[in-house]
Amino acid sequence: MSYILIVGVYSCFHFTTLEEYYLGTLILPIFNGVSDGAALILFFCISTLILGSNTWATPFIDGTWLSPSLPMLTYGQVIALAIGFTNIFVSFKK
């Protein structure tokens, strides 16, 4: 789960760096993927340190709406889906 989060945050940083290269300026809103993503990675790393890595594999919600072969979604899968949907909406916003 943490790899998906890290790739998502680093991709935000990569694309904002490309934006700066091609536009000549770095335009970051108040809430952005670069600084907020770094804070999110730090939060998940500290919570994993405190709670243990098995926390992310704990069943959380019924997943049959997503796929009939997926009876339960874990905490890690729910967070990964939320980050994926957020990245999709941010991409369409630009």
Query: Percent of the chain having pLDDT more than 70?
Result: 72
User: Are the CB atoms for 36 and 18 separated by under 8 Å?
Assistant: no
* pLDDT given for residue 50 in this prediction: 92
* pLDDT given for residue 79 in this prediction: 82
d(CA 74, CA 57): 5
d(CA 50, CA 23): 42
Residue 29 or residue 56, greater confidence: 56
Check pLDDT > 60 for residue 59.
yes
Residue-wise pLDDT tens digits, 16-31 = 777 777 778 777 677 6
Host H or E run for residue 89? helix 75-93
Ranges of each domain in the chain:
2-93
* pLDDT given for residue 6 in this prediction: 67
Q: Tokens representing 84?
A: 């994926």
Host H or E run for residue 15? helix 2-23
